[in-house]
Structure 1
Amino acid sequence: MDHNPNANTNWGDAATNGVNYELTSSGDWIHSQLGDTTVASGSAGADGSTPSDANKITAYNKFADRETVDVSLIAAGPASTTHAKNLITLVNKRKDCMVFISPERSDVVNVATSYNQLKNVKNYVLGLGSTSYAVFDSGYKKVYDRYSDIFRWTPLNGDIAGLCALTDYVADPWWSPGGLSRGQIRNSIQLAFNPSQTERDSLYSNRINPVCSFPGEGTMLWGDKTGLSQNSAFNRINVRRLFIAIEKAIENASKVVLFEFNDQFTRQNFVSIVEPFLDDVKARRGITDFLVVCDSTNNTAQVIDTNEFRADIYIKPTRSINFITLTFVATRTGVEFSEVVSA
């Protein structure tokens, strides 16, 4: 509840001062204070106005300053193109978090054919541009609202962000949130758009991660692409989140060299901080190799004279498996496998 407009007080605060409010099954409020009880009708209430794009932009812009607000995952909720573009601009500027975006409700809910659903979703994402800091999914799921006793359609972006948070908890940010191991979507009664194999391929080639329901296996995220259109390591969620985690950690560590002398001692001290951290990430399968260069080759006399400090960090990220090729060969009973393999 919000507040009691007549007493101008919060419901919870009032309850702590000897006033009690109870909501009955019929929707009425029972007000009790010092033995006196009053029943007030809960009908004809107002839900308030639906938030506009301007309202949403104002709210989400509270996350714009990375120095004062630390955030890793942003769920867009129901998002028009205007709202989605603002969020993409926000994360592109921050460069330390990702936004998760679903198509609009009208693109997939109560749309007659999967062909039109596919076309609508692709057109929506096409209008948002290319970025490695956004993740696009394929639609909406139906959930049961036990408080209102009705079914509701909700965008999947909150679920996908949740899968990334779960991946952080059970593994590390550089693991993929998709697939059978970590990509299970919970509390899904039905998908508004359950793409077929052909439709999944079309979505994936357009940077859209399909969410699918498979008989006997449940509903799951069946992809791990970012919204980057270029063929790059950063077109995968795990690689982008790997670099976000590494960059954030090393940026924080680099603060120790501020206002120190740019000499061999300071540079070696920085390397001694970074290399063990990257060794740990490598041991946890986040990267296959790395190189830290912080010496006189990149901290030249000119760099030192301009009061700068430079470090070059080269990283080989691990890649997730997106495509599997299985070849089955039938052989004669008497054939040696070594002969077949070497042939």
Structure 2
Amino acid sequence: MGNMKTPGVYILEKNAFPNSVVEVATAVPAFIGYTERAVNSGLDLTNKPWRITSMAEYHQYFGYGPLQPSEGAPYTSFKLEKIAPPAADGTPGATPAPTSAPADGKPVFKPFAQRDTVSLNVGGDKYTLTQNGGFYLLYLSMLHFFQNGGGPCYVVSTGGYSRDAGIQIDGSKFTAALDELTKELEPTMIVMPEAVLLSDAECAKVQVAALMHCGNVMKNRVAILDVWEGYQERNAPANVIDNFRNALGSNYLAFGAAYYPWVNTAIVQDRDLSYVNLTPDDDDGNRAVLTTALKGESARSLLGPKAATYYSSKADFKRPDQIPKEDQAAVSRFDQVAKQIDSVPAAKGVEMGLLARSLATLSPFYNAIMGEMAKRLNVMPPSPAMAGIYTMVDNARGVWKAPANVSLNSVVSPTVPISSEQQEDLNVTPQGKSINAIRSFKGEGTLVWGARTLDGNSLDWRYINVRRTMIMLEESVRLAAKAMVFEPNVANTWVTMKSMISNFLTGIWKRGGLAGAVPEDAFSVHVGLGETMTPEDILEGILRVTVLVAISRPAEFIEITFQQQMQKS
């Protein structure tokens, strides 16, 4: 107000209410992984956290997936090989040799190697189908995240796709992305689905770095981790659960949660694949296996028994005079189909799509191969879906509701069925490293059946909703308290601070976030000289506030007691 020197009316406004605490966002995951591109109007977004709210924005900035990129041929490829039939003496046929050999005497890690050991039985013949390119999971992970209720999130691209055979994932780029995320305060979760594509040691190194980032550096987010090779059973050649627990160490476990097993999803459909995914463009050798099998299938279905036998013993029908007259019409039909099949390796552009649709219509063998490829690509780590579940539960019930007893969308089944007895060791272990189970229940679908952090022995931080609720309360109050920095450290400021925090906590209590019949049972705020501060604290410019909260905890175990009583009437 100006000095009162000129006669007139002067207006003076006074604030009637104190500052308020605004609840911070609780469900903003940050995804780290490889993308087709990372560009915004010519600006390179590689290793830069970028906020998106939908798959449309993801396509705009980061392109599409390795299965159907926006430009060029698919990066995802499989190798199809026929297993030789047993010899006359019963000796098993030779199995195709591995496609990659150790480098420098060190074993080469092949992700999904155990998954691809399953052979295919088609038309009486056995085949192996091994993925040899396009090992990238982030795009499918983003689809799974949004299908399970995901919303705003950050994406940190660690690089583009590579057409080189094998796995092209660099663990150092994940740790570099974590360093970049220290500049962003909004993310509340870290999700790295492609970390499982690293070797076991590299994967553990990245996951430990994520826990340190969440619990030591930022202290305002949690990491959702995947079990390395978690699509396998625990009695596989190596116990994946024991290996996971041993590699994590013991620091900052309260800031992480892990889920097992992986899930069979329905994200990739058969129609998303074609024979083009069998090999890279410059290698038609494996497509020759496909064309030979397709011609054999067509011969069995189109030709009579005699003509089919003739086909199996001859390379081609160059002697029409030797074909029985009653089979010549069928042979003519087969010859037309065979010519179309022979065009598979040479097809280009639009022809490829037309040919793929024709094969899908005519050939059960072709559909079986495409279905098996889709089935294998649909084996996904659960962390992206869980990030979506966290978001959905937060929006519907609040961050204090445990993200458990919730069904997963676009999930057919867990890769490993888990019984109640098998879950006991996952949930409660002497080391305290609890792993949440994903289980299938008859009539209910696939449910998340656990809500613990990796610090399962801690009564403070056993449950993931307690950890995340405390993060929300701490961050909300911290940001609101910045307005009080350099204010006079006197009783008026203390009262303002106390009322501001109390009003915020009362609102949380009314919504069910704090446990108590009345607000006094749910929380208390203490501040003042002789209560939280000494005269020396005031001289040193320190204002101390103590907040006690009773966070609601989930009813993990429900016991109902039945007892008989005497008849009363």
Same fold (TM over 0.5): yes
Contact 1:114–1:195 (8 Å) recurs in 2: no
Q: 2:210 aligns with which of 87, 102, 112?
A: 87
Give the RMSD, CA atoms, in angstroms: 2.9
Are residues 195 and 78 of structure 1, via their aligned partners in 2, closer, same or farther at CA, if it must alter by over 3 Å?
farther
Instruction: Name the counterpart of 1:317.
Output: 551
Check if 1:69 corresponds to 2:185. Answer: yes
Instruction: Name the counterpart of 2:399.
Output: 173
Check if 1:264 corresponds to 2:386. Answer: no
Question: 1:121: Cα distance to partner?
Answer: 1.5
Q: 1:305 aligns with which of 539, 542, 548?
A: 539
Give me the whole-angstrom Cα distance separating, in 2, the residues matched to 1:44 and 1:286. 47
Residue by residue, what CA displacement relative to the aligned partner does 1:146-166 show, whole Å, maximum 9, x if unpaired? 334623211111122221111
After superposition, residues 317-336 of structure 1 pair within 5 angstroms as: 317-330=551-564, 334-335=567-568
Contact 1:98–1:134 (8 Å) recurs in 2: yes
Q: 1:273 aligns with which of 483, 500, 504?
A: 500
Contact 2:211–2:255 (8 Å) recurs in 1: yes
The structure that has the greater radius of gyration is: 2
Give the number of the structure with larger relative contact order, counting CA–CA contacts within 8 Å between residues 6 or more apart.
Answer: 2
Greater Cα shift, 148-157 or 270-279: 148-157
Instruction: Name the counterpart of 1:128.
Output: 248
After superposition, residues 184-333 of structure 1 pair within 5 angstroms as: 184-206=407-429, 207-288=434-515, 289-297=522-530, 298-330=532-564
Contact 1:176–1:224 (8 Å) recurs in 2: yes
Question: 1:95: Cα distance to partner?
Answer: 1.0
Question: 1:331: Cα distance to partner?
Answer: 5.3
Question: 1:117: Cα distance to partner?
Answer: 8.6
SS of residue matched to 2:264: strand
Q: 1:140 aligns with which of 232, 239, 262?
A: 262
Instruction: Name the counterpart of 2:200.
Output: none
Question: 1:118: Cα distance to partner?
Answer: 9.3
SS of residue matched to 1:172: coil
Instruction: Name the counterpart of 1:19.
Output: none
Contact 2:456–2:463 (8 Å) recurs in 1: no
Q: Which runs of 5+ in 2 are unaligned?
A: 1-35, 45-67, 77-133, 135-160, 196-202, 274-369, 516-521
SS of residue matched to 2:193: coil
Give me the whole-angstrom Cα distance separating, in 2, the residues matched to 1:158 and 1:87. 15
Instruction: Name the counterpart of 1:96.
Output: 220
Question: 1:195: Cα distance to partner?
Answer: 1.4
Question: 1:42: Cα distance to partner?
Answer: 4.1
Contact 2:175–2:206 (8 Å) recurs in 1: yes
Instruction: Name the counterpart of 1:56.
Output: 174
Q: Which runs of 5+ in 1 are unaligned?
A: 11-26, 31-40, 337-343
Contact 1:118–1:203 (8 Å) recurs in 2: no
**Aligned residue pair count:** 296
Give me the whole-angstrom Cα distance separating, in 2, the residues matched to 1:218 and 1:285. 28
Give me the whole-angstrom Cα distance separating, in 1, the residues matched to 2:248 and 2:228. 12
Give the share of equivalent positions with the same residue, in percent: 19
Contact 1:141–1:189 (8 Å) recurs in 2: yes
Are residues 69 and 171 of structure 1, via their aligned partners in 2, closer, same or farther at CA, if it must alter by over 3 Å?
same
- Between structures 1 and 2, the one with greater strand share: 1
SS of residue matched to 1:235: coil
Contact 1:225–1:237 (8 Å) recurs in 2: yes
Greater Cα shift, 134-143 or 260-269: 134-143
| AA at the equivalent of 1:76 | M
